[in-house]
Structure formats: structure tokens, C-alpha cells
């Protein structure tokens, strides 16, 4: 039993100072007591308080569009092609600077293969045809009248975390390594409600979905998924879709490979076979060590990583810290996340932020007392289907690693990495990327 | 009520609503019926996807000789290099092997793509970069022939058309394992 005011007596639940997650659940009084005792024992006496300058004058005028503090100006995405050269553009989410579970709209990751199209919603049309009784076309006005649903879900690029296929750990921050996944609340029309009225031929098995972007990105999607939980998304975190996310309408396939969530959808053709279009037959067919390749790698499998602390941060003194991170599974709901501080020798259950949602980010936390000695932090998630995030040696055995170290953290040596991410902390409190 | 009990109650409510959504597909029990009827003929200008069996390949034809000229004239060399053998966005004609180069091996049309129809589909859909969907079908057939012939996937002089293109044998056709067969 833990003594309320003595954090040093808290149960250590795993090696290297991991503390019981129950600390977080005991309620504010115990926490406040413990924390204040800790702070009081750690610092010199504080300065007397003064009225700060900014509290004494009228502030600036409110604007139609809200603005974040100028002190947060560096909370931005990393771009790979800021001049819009004739190639793909990527923007990566700064997870190391964010918290919670929702990615703000202007920081959601995006990938565009031929720029952002400037679409007039009054002229945009969505056509559904192929193996159907009656092909239809929908204006955005008409589509907006269908019943809508709202759900949270992550979208993850199949190439997210690709640098972790490197045979040596790439020294890059969380944003560079895992910035091609984000999580939002999406609102739109269940695709099934629209497909219902065209009369699908029972022999049809697939749909070809295509965008109105310059590259006319297209993917083949099994009808099984289309009729399960696919949504024609119109709103992102409450406002109309960002232009770079597919305005005015995108396909959302919860939990499935980002590239399949076709933006700017203008055509859905019901067919009996997949098209094996460019992206499905090339980029998103990951090579295996024996030169065979996976095809139709739809699901982003269970995964987690620690966001705080992470690469590039520094622990300035020994003592109490909260380890925090993100877990998600394209196959279901996060049921459990375990954390290690000793490179996998011992593991402890982290607190999982509820209510947990299917195919959505789940924040996990665990208190930690760093003793100033080297430590290796890592997390491992389990979903409600019993799928366990694979340990690195298990994953590498099946999927392999590169022959030479990866030098560009933004490159894509392979796809669909869902194994562990480990942060090595040295005695100075500096954090590097390590393999265990 | 403890925090974990609150979470459980919310969880129960959530799973009930998601079951309702999954069982009754659109959750309505009726059709909305706001779609405007349209004929396949009127959709034709947008109906550009080619299936692996050749479905939807248009009339027309082309050869590598014509394609080679177009490859320069249409500016393809800017990204794919002289003769398609390399540039900022990669070679379209190359003999790099797939095996022995690890999981990061370069996937080329010759060593990786499973279907010749993908070449036609992608050129017509997305190329040239600065003006996609401006090539005529004959031009797309010619560029397709140029790439396939350059990669020694068809004998010199073979005419590519709706009949011959889907019959081109791709070396890596059987190189794939379906990752999630139960999801199809």
C-alpha cells in the first residue's frame, strides 16, 4: 500500500522506475499530495510572485479565424517538397509537440501526388456506376442531405515509419519517423446509404474509387469494406474537409492504408475484379526478404509509440516524469498497452485513456521515476482482437531489414512497419533512437 | 462511480451503437434516393480505368517506334531520362533485378509489375505530369509499346492494342502473396 505523501514509496511495477498506473487513478488529492511533496523536495525556494506585464493592458483584437499563441509557431509539419517540384509532397504531424488524441486540422499529415486541386463544390460531382441497376450522379448539395454519421479514426500512410526498416536505427525525431499518421473526428455519409440505391449486382466484389485531383488517384476496394464502415467524409473535426484532405468529399476506410482513402472522390465503379492500379500494384505491395511481395495489405495493424519523452528531448534532472504515447489498431480497439523502461526485460501496464474507440488513437500514460541512469523506453499495444504489436526481432524475422543503413528518414525502403519504437536515454538525459 | 466503471459504461454504450451501424448497413431501413440517374454513355469521358483482363481498353493502337518519338516530344524525358532509362522520378526502362537486393530493391515495370494493363492505365491517367489525360489513346498505346519493348517484354515491332496488350506476359506475375484474403 502506497503512502499518500511519499512518492519514493510508490510501488515500482517494472524495472528502471516504472510506477503503478494506478497512481493516476487514485484521484486528485493523492496525486496532488504526492506531487507537491516531490516538487518541494526537489527545488530551491521559489521567488516572490509579481504581476506580469501582459496582465495589465487590453489584449489584441479577436479575429474571425482563431490564432494560436505565437509561442507555438514552431509546432508545424515537416515538408518534403516545399517548393512543389514535380513529385510527391508529404507533410508530417509533429506528435512530439502535441498531446491528447485528436490531430488539429492544420497539422494532420497529408500526401499529395500532384498538388492540391482547387475544386468548386458547386460543380463537383460524384458518379456511381458499373455493375449496378441504375448509375447515379450526386451533386454535393444532394450528398449533404443524406443522413450522416460521426466517428473518430486514424488515417495512416502505408509508408509511415518506413525508416524503421533500416538495419541501423535512423537518428531522427518522432515526427520524421512516425509523422504520417493522424487522428480526427470525421463526419459524413455512410457509403452503404448511397450504394443502397444503385442496386449492386451480386456478382460484383470490388469498387474502383477515383479522385478529381490532377493525378486521378485510384484504388480498388473490396465491397465488403465499402458496405461495412466506409464513409463519404464531408467534415473534419467539425469543419468542412481541409482542401489537402480531399475537399469537398473523400472516402474514409477506417483502419485501412491511407492511400486507399481516396480524396476528391468523383467516381466509384462497381466491378468484379481489382484494377491493380499503379499504387496497389507497386508502392503498396511491400517486398519481403525472399523477393516475394505482399499484395492488398489493407489493414494498418496494431501499433504504438511513445511521444513523451522521445528523440531530441532532454530529461534535465532525475525524478518524476510521465511517459505518454499513442496506440492504435486498424483491426479494432486498443485493449492494453505495456511499457518498458529497461529495454524489454520487464513490462508494466500503462493507463489507457478511455473511452477507447475502434480504429482510433488511444493515449496511454504511465508514471516513471528516472534515477539518472541509462534507460530504454518502449511500448507495446494489444487490440481487442488479441492482435499484439510484434517485438522487433519477430517483425524483422518475417519482414526483413535493409542491407545498408537508411540515410534519409523520409525515404520509403518498405511499407507497413508496426513493430516497436525504442528511445535510449543516457546518463545526461539525452534521447536517441535505438533498437532492442 | 470510479473512473474505470464510468469508462466501462461508456464503452458499453459505444459498442451498442457500433453494432447497430454494422448490422443495419446504412442505419436507415429505407433508401434515400437523391441520386440523379445517368447513363453509362454520359459517364464515358470519366470512365478511364483499365482492368487486368483488358476490360475498358479503348480502340486504337501504337508501336514502340512512334512511342520513342513521343517520349521525347511530350517531355517524358524530363523526369524519366533519355530513352526512359533514368531521371529524377526513375527509369521506366531498366534491367535491375528484384532478387538479392533486399527489401528495399527498386521495383521496376519489368521486375515487379504484375499486369501490362497498369502501364496503359497509369500513363493515360496521370501522365505527362504537367498535362495528364491529354494524350490520345493511340499515343498511350504507342508509349506503352515503347516501354514494354524497351524492357524486352514484347518482340520488336509488336503493335499494342486492346487485344494484344492484356496478353503480354509479365515476369513477376506470380510474385505476390495476398495479405488479407479474408477481407476481400
In tens, the pLDDT along A340-366 reads: 999 999 999 999 999 999 999 999 999
Question: Angle, to 10 degrees, between the axis of helix B117-126 and the axis of helix B137-150?
Answer: 130
Supply the pLDDT for residue A35.
44
End-to-end CA distance of chain A: 33
Q: Report yes or no: A182 and A110 within 8 Å, Cβ to Cβ.
A: no
Chain B residues whose beta carbon lies within 8 Å of the beta carbon of residue A356: 11
Domain annotation covers residue B13: no
Q: Is residue A322 part of a domain?
A: no
Min CA distance, A216 vs chain B (Å)? Answer: 6
In a domain, A97, yes or no: no
Question: Which helix (H) or strand (E) covers residue A175, if one does?
Answer: helix A174-178
Pairwise CA distance, residues B60 & A117, whole Å: 31
Using an 8 Å CB-CB cutoff, list chain B residues near A354: 6-7, 10-11
pLDDT digits (tens, 9 = 90+) for A57-112: 999 999 999 999 999 999 999 999 999 998 999 999 999 999 999 999 999 999 99
pLDDT, residue B30, reads 79
Let me know if residue B26 belongs to a domain. no
Which ranges of chain B would DSSP assign to H, the alpha helix?
Answer: 3-23, 40-43, 64-73, 77-80, 117-126, 137-150
In percent, how much of chain B has pLDDT > 70? 85
Question: Could you tell me the three cell numbers for A61?
Answer: 483584437
Residue numbers in B near A145 (CB within 8 A): 32, 34
Q: How far apart are CA A231 and CA A254, in angstroms?
A: 8
Buried b (16+ CB within 10 A) or exposed e, A24-60: beeeeebbebbeebbeeeeeeeeeeeeeeeeeeeeee
Q: What proportion of chain A, given as a percentage, has pLDDT over 70?
A: 93
In a domain, residue A133? The reply is yes
CA-wise closest residue to B70 among B160, B3, B7: B160
Residues of chain A with confidence (pLDDT) below 50:
1-5, 9, 27-40
Q: Which helix (H) or strand (E) holds A138?
A: strand A136-139
What's the pLDDT score for residue A7? 53
A261 assigned to some structural domain: yes
Domains: count for chain A: 1
Q: Per-residue pLDDT for B29 more than 90?
A: no
- Alpha-carbon span A270 to A52, nearest angstrom: 64
User: For residue A174, is it within any domain?
Assistant: yes
Check whether B156 has a pLDDT greater than 70. yes
Is residue B73 in a domain? yes
**Residue A329: burial class (beta carbons within 10 Å; 0-12, 13-18, 19+):** buried
Q: Is A272 exposed, middle or buried (0-12, 13-18, 19+ CB in 10 A)?
A: middle
Whether residue B63 has pLDDT greater than 70: yes
Report pLDDT digits (tens) over B91-108.
999 999 999 999 999 999
pLDDT of residue B68: 98
* Grid cell listed for B30: 429505407
pLDDT for position A165: 98
Q: Which domain holds residue A205?
A: 125-283
Indicate the burial class of A253 (C-beta count within 10 angstroms; 0-12, 13-18, 19 or more): buried
Q: Does B174 touch chain A (CB under 8 A)?
A: no
**Is pLDDT above 60 for B2?**
no
Residue B142 belongs to a domain with what CATH number?
Answer: 1.10.760.10
The interaxial angle of helices B64-73 and B137-150, nearest 10 deg, is: 100
Identify each DSSP E strand in A246-361 by its residue range.
Answer: 250-252, 265-271, 293-295, 303-308, 319-328, 334-340, 348-349, 351-352
Number of domains in chain B: 1
**What CATH number corresponds to the domain at position A215?**
3.90.420.10
Give the confidence band of B184 by pLDDT, cuts at 50, 70, 90. Answer: very high
Question: With contact defined as beta carbons under 8 Å apart, do A242 and A265 qualify?
Answer: no
Residue in chain B closest to A162 (alpha carbons) equals B104
- Chain pair A-B, CB pairs under 8 angstroms: 217
Whether residue B32 is predicted with pLDDT greater than 80 in this model: the reply is: yes
User: What is the residue range of B47's domain?
Assistant: 42-167
Report how far residue A144's alpha carbon sits from residue A58's, in angstroms, rounded to the nearest whole number: 42
Tell if the CB–CB gap between B132 and A194 is shorter than 8 Å. no
pLDDT score for A8? 53
Amino acid at each position: 500500500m502506497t503512502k499518500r505523501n511519499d512518492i519514493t514509496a510508490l510501488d515500482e511495477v517494472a524495472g528502471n522506475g516504472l510506477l503503478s498506473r494506478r497512481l493516476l487513478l487514485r484521484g486528485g488529492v493523492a496525486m496532488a499530495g504526492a506531487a507537491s511533496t516531490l516538487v518541494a523536495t526537489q527545488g530551491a525556494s521559489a521567488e516572490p510572485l509579481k504581476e506580469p506585464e501582459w496582465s495589465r493592458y487590453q489584449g489584441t483584437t479577436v479575429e474571425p479565424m482563431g490564432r494560436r499563441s505565437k509561442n507555438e509557431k514552431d509546432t508545424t509539419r515537416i515538408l518534403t517538397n516545399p517548393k512543389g517540384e514535380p513529385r510527391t509532397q508529404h507533410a508530417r504531424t509533429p506528435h512530439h509537440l502535441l498531446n491528447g488524441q485528436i490531430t488539429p486540422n492544420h497539422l494532420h499529415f497529408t500526401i499529395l501526388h500532384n498538388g492540391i486541386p482547387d475544386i468548386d463544390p458547386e460543380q463537383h460531382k460524384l458518379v456511381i456506376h458499373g455493375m449496378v441497376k441504375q448509375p447515379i450522379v450526386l451533386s454535393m448539395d444532394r450528398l449533404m442531405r443524406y443522413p450522416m454519421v460521426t466517428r473518430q479514426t486514424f488515417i495512416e500512410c502505408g509508408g509511415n515509419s518506413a525508416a524503421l526498416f533500416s538495419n541501423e536505427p535512423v537518428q531522427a525525431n518522432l515526427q520524421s519517423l512516425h509523422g504520417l499518421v493522424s487522428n480526427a473526428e470525421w463526419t459524413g455519409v455512410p457509403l452503404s446509404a448511397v450504394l443502397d440505391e444503385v442496386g449492386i449486382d451480386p456478382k460484383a466484389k470490388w469498387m474502383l474509387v477515383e479522385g478529381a485531383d490532377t493525378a486521378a488517384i485510384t484504388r480498388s476496394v473490396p465491397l465488403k469494406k465499402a458496405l461495412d464502415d466506409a464513409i463519404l467524409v464531408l467534415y473534419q473535426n467539425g469543419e468542412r474537409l481541409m482542401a489537402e484532405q480531399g475537399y469537398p468529399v473523400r472516402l474514409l476506410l477506417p483502419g485501412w492504408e491511407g492511400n486507399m482513402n481516396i480524396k476528391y472522390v468523383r467516381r466509384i465503379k462497381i466491378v468484379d475484379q481489382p484494377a491493380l492500379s499503379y499504387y496497389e500494384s507497386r508502392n503498396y505491395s511491400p517486398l519481403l526478404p525472399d523477393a516475394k511481395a505482399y499484395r492488398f495489405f489493407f489493414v494498418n495493424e496494431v501499433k504504438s509509440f511513445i511521444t513523451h519523452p522521445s528523440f531530441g528531448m532532454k530529461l534535465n534532472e532525475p525524478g518524476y516524469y510521465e511517459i505518454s504515447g499513442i496506440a492504435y489498431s486498424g483491426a479494432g480497439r486498443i485493449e492494453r498497452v505495456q511499457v518498458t523502461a529497461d529495454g524489454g526485460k520487464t513490462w508494466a501496464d500503462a493507463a489507457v485513456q478511455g473511452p477507447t474507440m475502434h480504429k482510433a488513437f488511444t493515449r496511454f500514460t504511465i508514471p516513471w521515476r528516472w534515477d539518472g541512469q541509462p534507460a530504454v523506453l518502449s511500448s507495446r499495444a494489444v487490440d481487442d482482437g488479441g492482435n499484439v504489436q510484434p517485438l522487433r526481432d519477430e517483425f524483422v524475422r518475417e519482414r526483413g531489414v535493409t542491407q545498408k543503413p537508411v540515410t534519409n528518414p523520409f525515404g520509403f525502403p518498405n511499407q507497413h512497419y508496426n513493430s516497436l519504437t525504442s528511445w535510449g536515454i543516457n546518463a545526461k538525459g539525452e534521447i536517441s533512437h535505438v533498437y532492442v | 462511480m470510479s473512473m474505470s466503471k464510468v469508462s466501462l459504461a461508456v464503452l458499453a454504450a459505444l459498442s451498442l451503437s457500433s453494432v447497430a451501424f454494422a448490422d443495419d448497413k446504412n442505419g436507415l431501413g429505407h433508401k434515400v434516393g437523391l441520386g440523379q440517374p445517368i447513363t453509362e454513355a454520359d459517364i464515358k469521358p470519366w470512365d478511364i480505368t483499365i482492368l487486368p483482363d483488358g476490360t475498358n481498353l479503348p480502340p486504337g493502337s501504337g508501336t514502340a517506334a512512334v512511342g520513342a518519338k513521343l517520349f521525347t516530344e511530350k517531355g517524358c524525358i524530363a523526369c524519366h531520362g533519355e530513352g526512359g532509362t533514368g531521371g529524377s522520378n526513375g527509369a521506366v526502362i531498366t534491367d535491375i533485378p528484384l532478387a538479392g537486393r533486399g527489401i528495399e530493391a527498386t521495383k521496376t515495370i519489368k521486375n515487379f509489375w504484375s499486369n501490362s494493363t497498369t502501364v496503359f492505365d497509369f500513363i493515360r491517367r496521370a501522365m505527362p505530369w504537367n498535362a495528364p489525360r491529354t494524350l490520345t489513346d493511340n499515343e498511350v498505346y504507342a508509349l506503352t509499346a515503347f516501354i514494354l519493348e524497351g524492357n524486352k517484354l514484347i518482340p520488336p515491332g509488336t503493335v499494342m492494342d486492346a487485344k494484344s496488350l492484356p496478353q503480354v506476359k509479365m515476369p513477376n506475375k506470380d510474385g505476390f502473396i495476398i495479405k488479407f484474403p479474408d477481407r476481400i
